Amino acid sequence: MPDDLPFDDLTSSRGLVVAATSSRSGKTTVSAALMKAYLDRGMSVQGAKVGPDYIDPQFHRLATKRASYNLDPFLTGGEEGLSRTLRHMGPHDLLLVEGVMGLFDGTYLEPPSWYLERRERDSKIPFSSTAQVAEVLGLPIVLLVDVSSVASSVAAVVAGFLEYSKSLNIAGVILNKVGSVNHEAILDRSLSRCSVPIVGKIPKLPELHTPSRHLGLIQPHEEKERMAIWLNEAALAISNSVDLDLLLALAEPPIVHRVKHRVSRLRFLDNTETPIVSVAKGSAFSFIYEENLDILKENGAKIRYFDPLTDTFDTDTTHLYIGGGYPELEIEEIAKNTVLTRDIRSFALGGGSLWAECGGHMLLGRAIDGVEAVSLLPHRSYMTKKLSLGYRVVTATRDNPLTHKGMVLPAHEYHYSLTQDDSSDLRYVGYGKSGANGVARDNIISSYMHFHLGAIQAASLKDSY
């Protein structure tokens, strides 16, 4: 049996990647609107996001009525991680993948040494770029170009992307923010020199603007009614300006690589016959990778959710998972929930397995911006205007619920807060920087690092420590 097979051997899926020439080109708006437009045609649509972002997949979920997944070779354990992620998605008619930043933007940070490449990669394509994901999965690319400040020069831009790497299939172009009929005519004439069809020409429309804040876009669940109206208007606008039939005709089945690995029980769930994992969710804690929940379930865990603003977790909980989000916006309300803060302390001090990331790490400290938090750990968090962002290669200095001492793992950081009196149990290397933060000992792992359980399973199987 061949190592690689089209994904439609498993489902009936076809796929496309919506890439762009740069950030702020309108990828999230156009991707979510396309997903909604195809859903309105009666298709089952699966959304995905290149990279580690948490918010864009929430827009995909709003549009498709199903969970969106992150496709990130660095974070999920190499190119094999992409195939594992596809297999978690379930049957669908169309896979629409939203890219990250510009098509060729990725990381030059060296991944952990245990990553095994299946093939020789195109040296022009950085790790975890949209280009890498499209190349590995064999998916056609539709290139989104913001033309608000360009006219005839658009041909040079598109031609450069077409010529830069011959290992990619840029199958079409969508022009965003077309200013007028005359502007459109100039763009058409200029691009007639390029060997790629114009699939859509989207005019400048106020209804296509998406609101944002310091960590990115406003989350759809924060303003449900407004976001539903926005999405319907955006889908209608896209349907009127993009040739949906032509775009669909460009889609092809993704290539899924057969992943040869043994089943690995997660260390996080060790020594528990029937793990009950309580997961913090709600407006303050919504940054959790869907695939992490899938992997926990595959390892026998029962998932239960609780909202730290209003309630606490069940008393039979064996494992506690508090992900990232915006606790700084809700800390005064959370502080009033003294039952929860007491229960978290009692759970951890009683030996319960606790995994906290970023916002969850902030919550476990003494205070957030001067407001009392859980006070399980000694650090205090405060918001700044400085962004800490990037992939990390992390080494644990002690055994902990997720990893063994010395295990080397990929991770990601994205936060504007800093801590005082933090521990330094997780040592990390980033691109051009290094440091340490967080607690990793006995039954607690808590830090600014976002981890992916797929990579942790892969690392365990490849003896990365």
- CB count in 10 Å sphere of residue 12: 13
Task: Give CA angle at 345 (343, 351), nearest 5°.
Answer: 100
Q: Is residue 358 annotated as a catalytic residue, yes or no?
A: yes
DSSP state of 15: E
Distance CA 227, CA 222 (A): 9
* H or E segment to which residue 255 belongs: strand 255-257
What DSSP string runs through 326-359?
-HHHHHHHHHH-HHHHHHHHHHHHTT-EEEEETH
**Which residue of the set 63, 358, 368, 439 is catalytic?**
358
Distances from the Cα of 98 to the Cα of 33, 60, 85, 134, 161, angstroms: 11, 9, 15, 11, 17
> In the block, which residue shows the tokens 């296509």?
208
Q: How far is C-alpha 444 from the geometric centre of its chain's CA atoms?
A: 24
Q: How far is C-alpha 266 from the geometric centre of its chain's CA atoms?
A: 21
Torsion sign, CA atoms 113, 114, 120, 126: negative
Outline where 78-212 has alpha helix (H). Answer: 80-89, 130-137, 154-164, 181-191
Query: What are the catalytic residues?
Result: 358
